[in-house]
Amino acid sequence: MSYRFIWKKIASKALSSAVAKGLLTINRQDLWEQVARTESLTPQQIEKLRGEIDEALRKVEAAGRQERDLVVKAARELVAQVIKGVKGP
């Protein structure tokens, strides 16, 4: 297993968690209304699917939370160091 692979896994989990958090936060009502208009799914099927997708998003968000926090912390640290360097001692 290469170093690159390990870092890619961490970055991917962190990004997945961030995207899941974003998707859980934003309002997706429009999307479900659009699906209902196509009549591809019954209202019951839409409700069930919505529940399944929300559940999956919550799982992904939780599974990568640690990595997401780590990446965010590292990024903040990096930005702080850059700003410190620009400002000078």
Partner 1 sequence: MSTITAFVHMVGGYRKLRRYKAIASTLAMHGFGDIATRTGARRVWRGFMKAVTLGHAADVEALTTGERMRRVCEELGPTFIKFGQMLANRPDMLPPDVIRELSRLQDAVPPFPFERVRQVVDKASGGRASEVFQTIDEKPIAAASIAQVHRAVLKSGEVVAVKVKRPDIERTARQDLAVLADIADYLAENVKGLGHFQPRRVVEEFARTLMQEMDFTIEVRHLERFAANFADEPAVRIPKPYKELCSSDLIVMQYLGGVKVTDITDWSAYSVTPKEIADLGTKLLLRSVFEHRFFHADPHPGNFLIAPDGKVCLLDFGMMGTIEQTRLEEMLSFMVGLVSYDSAMLVESILEAGLAPEDLDVRGLKRDLEAMMDRYAMVSIERLRIEPLIRDAAEAVFRHRIALPADLLGVGRAISVMEGIARRIYPQFNPLQEIQPYLVSLFLKHALDPTTQSERLVDLVSDWMLAAKDLPKDASDVLRKLKKGELTVRVDNRHAKEEMLAANRRANRLAGVAVAGVGVVASYLLLRSGAVCDYVAYAGFAASFVVSLWVLSGIRRSGGM
Provide the binding-site residues for partner 1, judged by CB under 8 A.
4, 8, 11-13, 15-17, 19-20, 23, 35, 38, 40-42, 45, 49, 52-53, 56-57, 60
Token pair listed for 13: 């989990």
Residue 67 makes CB contacts below 8 A (sequence gap 6+) with 10, 11, 13, 14, 17
* Shorter beta-carbon distance to partner 1: residue 3 or 83: 3
* Shorter beta-carbon distance to partner 1: residue 12 or 81: 12
Say which residue the tokens 């899941």 belong to. 20
What beta strand segments (E) does 2-89 contain? none
Smallest separation, CB 66 to partner 1 (Å): 15
Smallest separation, CB 51 to partner 1 (Å): 12
Smallest separation, CB 1 to partner 1 (Å): 15
- The CA distance from 66 to 14, in Å, is 8
